[in-house]
Chains A and B, each alone.
Chain A
Amino acid sequence: MSIIKKVVLAPMDPVHDIGLKMIRRGLEEAGHITWLYPPDYSPQEIIRGIMEHQADTVLISRTLGYGVEEVLARFVDLLDAAGLRERVKIAVGGMAIRPELAAELGFDGGFGPGTTVEETVAFVEGREYIPARCMNKHNRYNLIGDYRYEFKNRPIKGLLDQITAQILDWSKERTSPGVQRALLRRQILTDESQGESTACHKKEYASLCDDIVSKYYTSGCLHPQTRKLGIEELAAISRYVEQTRSRMNPENIRHTRQKPGVFVQYGTGCPSMDIAHIKASEAWGADGVVHFDPSWGARSEGFLEGYLTHHEDGSVITPENLKCIKESLQESTLWQVRAHRGVNTAETVLLAGNAGADLTKINIAYGCLGAGTDPERMIVDGVQAIKFAAQYGMPFDVVTNEELSGVPAYKAFAGMLIVSNLSLALGAMPILQPLFCYSPEVMINGNMSDNYIDFNVAKILALRNIINAPIWAGAPIGFLTQTEERVQSSVSTGLHAALAASLGVEAISIASSDEAYSGGPIAAASRIDTLKAVKEAFRFLGTATIEPTASARQWAEHLEAGIEQVLRQVLEVGDFAQALQQGVLGSREEGAYPGRAGAGTVYRV
């Protein structure tokens, strides 16, 4: 049963107060009776009015800071002396008001700048204000949705299917230490879950690792850049998570659009610090978090175990570290553990799936052209990784990081589509991840000399012309447009986020405002900078769209044609690994160097 309140609204300023007018509207919409006085009534006049109307509530506004204490004190005093204090609820609000000041003066409520109409109405009605974002429980963001992966470009589909067949045929009889370790790890995990001894399998596992890793299994010796976390540290982080969780009331980063989901990257080196950063990111609205591991993790065969902290950027992947992070996440947070490069790809996906990750990242082409892994090795491990991902029902993005080395987008996209089509054939769920970046290609060709919009739009248009698949812009968006300047960096991220929203992509990965700063690790506050910028960008854009110029469509057509041409060339070579070696998907001149890590380790079963 709602009780109708009689509310006097009085601006104690020389000019009208917009705030009070909006609050009055809100109160009337809620069914209350209101009187809005003209500006600058004296306290006596306001009190006389309260008596006349027999009001039960009075809302004062004050924007001028000068003399605010005296004016408000006098009002409260007169109200008290007139015998009305007990039966009238009084609140003061405005730019000059700090809630502490209102409390000191004896007001029942004090509302500083930023108070919403809803909050004031709740105060008048005598009920607790529950912010809207609390009422809509943060829902888990759905990346895959209803995508069916229908190909619209039949010629390209035909080419891809042939390449896929060749890859599957080639790889079905081949394996590698990476694949073997992954299978052993699967066995170890099964042993552990059944309470059986893992000693035997671990010994075999260790024999397939590089020295620096196998030392851990044989003598407990850790990688020099790591140290074990103590029991107290682990207990403390667990308590910290519990305490933080009870206070979590995450912001909703989106406005009127349902997409895109927003992912932030983490990888400070220390699981505790990672968790702290993750909690901050979750609170400020991130839908998902992406694990960044150290670059040496991709080059040394085998994984360490235990709760390990790393002295430099990148958090070590171990089963225990992953477990620790998973336990800290909000239920609604999506978690990606990347497996897109190096000699541990298959095992990474396995560990990720086992740890309960929602997503992983796999790209065979990038893995060998930009991340230093041997093509044959990358293919064998990649295929296994994709199979694991399919088994765990874990979608993964296929990211075109080669663009950052200088590989033109059309070639990188060809590689992405090859891996994606292969994934579909293996029953997996690939997500396309083109880059929104200021790549070497655009620097040379001048595609972004006028704006950052057209070329990025062209990428999306081209991909959508080819296949109906989820698209997740990365990685992060606006890469290489950012400087160390916080505002510039945040604005650039925000604007790219607006573009992504306008295009209706499923998700974006965003950097912090420290992205371009190389002097030290990313600070938590810098993550919040870009989350705020993205939120504001989404607010600005709403459901409106950003209009590209005619160049976007032209470039999209070129991209599509280029992709087809590259696929034909791959088929001409007849062997995917060879095609990669020969630079069909990215040449040395373009900055792509087929890697050597794991070279010669692939063998037939």
Chain B
Amino acid sequence: MANGLDKVMDALDIETFIVAKDEDEAIRTIRQIMTDMGLRDIDVVYCKHLGPGARVRARGYVFRAGDMYGWLKEAQQ
């Protein structure tokens, strides 16, 4: 199988709970995680810090409207 990300329709979201002292730290951490995972075009969709850490959802857009979509390439063959 070629690059798995090619099969993502548009975006890959990661949702988790980050142990952090405040929202900033949580956001920095999840951004780092996303970058380390090889994702680009990253945004933090949601972050709420309460108590021990933050519930976060970060998104890495794989394809945006107008791009050449990987999942369409297969249909092209």
A binds B: yes
A residues adjacent to B (C-beta < 8 A): 227, 232-233, 235-237, 239-240, 243, 268-270, 272-273, 276-277, 280, 309-311, 483-486, 514, 517, 519-521, 523-525
Asked if B10 and A273 sit within 8 Å, CB to CB, the answer is yes
Task: Determine if A270 and B75 form an interchain contact, defined as CB atoms under 8 angstroms apart.
Answer: no
Which listed residue (B48, B55, B66) contacts A310, Cβ 8 A?
A: B66
Taking CB atoms, residues of chain B closer than 8 Å to A269 are: 65-66
Tell yes or no: B9 within 8 A of A by CB: yes
A280 to B73, CA, bound (A): 18
Q: How many whole Å from A461's CB to the nearest CB in chain B?
A: 36
In the bound complex, CA of A519 to CA of B59 (Å): 10
Docked CA distance A232–B68 (Å): 11
Nearest-neighbour CB distance to chain A for B71, whole angstroms, equals 8
Residues of B within 8 A of A483 (CB): 46
Q: Which residues of A have CB within 8 Å of B72?
A: 233, 236-237, 240, 272
Asked if A523 and B75 make an inter-chain contact with CB atoms under 8 angstroms apart, the answer reads no
**A311: chain B residues within 8 A (beta carbon):** 65-66
B19-49 near A? 1/0 per residue, CB < 8 Å: 0000000000000000000000001011010
* A273, B13: Cα distance in complex, Å: 18
B10 touches A523 (CB 8 A): yes
A131 to chain B, nearest CB (A): 24
Taking CB atoms, residues of chain B closer than 8 Å to A310 are 65-66
- Check if A280 sits within 8 Å of B45, measured CB to CB: no
**Nearest-CB residue, chain A, relative to B63:** A273
Q: CB of B61 within 8 A of chain A?
A: yes
- Whether B66 contacts A524 by the Cβ 8 Å rule is no
CA distance A249 to B63 in the complex (A): 26
- Nearest-Cβ distance from residue A282 to partner chain B, whole angstroms: 14
Question: What CA separation (Å) do A423 and B21 show in the bound complex?
Answer: 59
* C-alpha gap A194/B73 in the complex (Å): 36
CA separation between A73 and B48, bound complex, in Å? 47
From B72, which residue of chain A is reached at the shortest CB distance? A236
Distance between A206 CB and nearest chain B CB, rounded to angstroms: 26
**Is B48 touching A485 in the complex (CB atoms < 8 A)?**
yes
User: Can you spell out 10 A-B residue pairs with CB atoms less than 8 angstroms apart?
Assistant: A236-B72, A236-B75, A270-B66, A485-B55, A486-B15, A486-B57, A519-B59, A520-B43, A521-B65, A523-B9
Q: Beyond the given A273-B10, A273-B63, A523-B9, could you list 9 further A-B residue pairs with CB under 8 A, ordered by the A residue number?
A: A232-B76, A239-B76, A240-B72, A243-B75, A272-B72, A486-B46, A517-B45, A519-B59, A523-B10
User: A69 to nearest B CB, angstroms?
Assistant: 27
Q: Which of B11, B64, B66 lies at the interface centre, i.e. has the most chain A CB atoms within 10 A of its CB?
A: B66
Q: Which of A236, A270, A486 contacts B76 (CB 8 A)?
A: A236
- Chain B residue, CB-CB nearest to A270: B65
B46: A residues at CB distance < 8 A: 483-486, 517
Return chain A residues, CB-CB under 8 Å to B17.
Answer: none
